[in-house]
Amino acid sequence: MKSITTPISDETIRELKVGDAVNLSGIMVTGRDAAHKWMIETFIKKTRAPQGDDLQAYEELKKLLNGSVIYHCGPVVSGLDTKDYKFVAAGPTTSIREEPYQADVMKHFNVKGVIGKGGMGAKTLQGCAETPGAYLHAIGGAASYIAKTVVKVHGVFKMEFGVPEAMWVIEVKDFPVVVTMDSHGGSQHAVIEETSKKVLDGLLAKPL
């Protein structure tokens, strides 16, 4: 088991290999579909003009995400009325929905880790090599357990997206993940997909 604290250096990322178990600590930011689309359109491809507090949020996120981690998570959060925020549930969201965006977001913000479930595709794997970064698989179905690793909610951006889609800035302690895509081109998800396809092709080739 490796223990890693954000911000994460390139050297630390390059040491990680598929199959490594990691306890992650430090600051990270949640982000799902709305957040990734907003970052891409407003600040990377610039097909949408900044509105409201977008520029202020961008400047703060550049600092927070530099060397840090994006967590694909739609949390259940208490204390919304008092802003005494606490994560009640914090399970991972299926990551493949962010495949069109993730590599560009990683490179633009120097994001070193992406946490989610289910893995991602070839574009993100290339992004892991170039940034460099790693995809970190979290435990599906363990939302309440993972929430216990969130020791503090430091704030939130883009609350207008709604609680699950907002970008929550959280501090975690010993958040358990497994490296399933590394910066050397290794992808456990690609291996499983290839193996499964061979089995399926074999089954389909058999006469009824």
| Tens of pLDDT, residues 119-136 | 999 999 999 999 999 999
How much is the average pLDDT of 29-35? 98
Structure tokens that stand for 73 in this block: 């998570």
Known catalytic residues?
A: 36
Nearest to 112 by CA among 95, 99, 129: 129
- Residue 144 structural domain: 2-205
Output the domain CATH number for residue 103. 3.20.130.10
As for how many domains the chain has, the answer is 1
Q: Is the pLDDT of residue 200 over 50?
A: no
Q: Is the pLDDT of residue 204 over 70?
A: no
Per-residue burial over 25-47, b if 16 or more Cβ lie within 10 Å, else e, is: bbbbbbbbbbbbbbbbebbeeee
Residues 14/33, Cβ–Cβ less than 8 Å: no
SS (H, E, C) 40-52: HHHHHCCCCCCCC
Structure tokens that stand for 92 in this block: 């991972």
Q: How many helices (H) and strands (E) does the chain have?
A: 7, 9
Which pLDDT score is estimated for 186? 94
72-84 pLDDT, tens digit each: 999 999 999 999 9
Please tell me whether the overall predicted TM-score, pTM, comes out greater than 0.85 for this model: yes
128-180 pLDDT, tens digit each: 999 999 999 998 888 999 999 999 999 999 999 999 999 999 999 999 999 99
Q: Is the pLDDT of residue 206 over 90?
A: no
Residues 178/20, Cβ–Cβ less than 8 Å: yes
Rounded to whole angstroms, the Cα distance separating 62 from 55 reads: 11
88-121 pLDDT, tens digit each: 999 999 999 999 999 999 999 999 999 999 999 9
How much is the average pLDDT of 21-29? 98
Confidence of residue 202 (pLDDT cuts 50, 70, 90): low
Confidence of residue 69 (pLDDT cuts 50, 70, 90): very high
Confidence of residue 195 (pLDDT cuts 50, 70, 90): low
Question: In sequence order, what DSSP letters do the residues of 77-124 get, joined into one string?
Answer: EE-TTTT--EEEE-PBPBGGGGTTTHHHHHHHHT--EEEEBS---HHH
Structure tokens that stand for 133 in this block: 């970064």
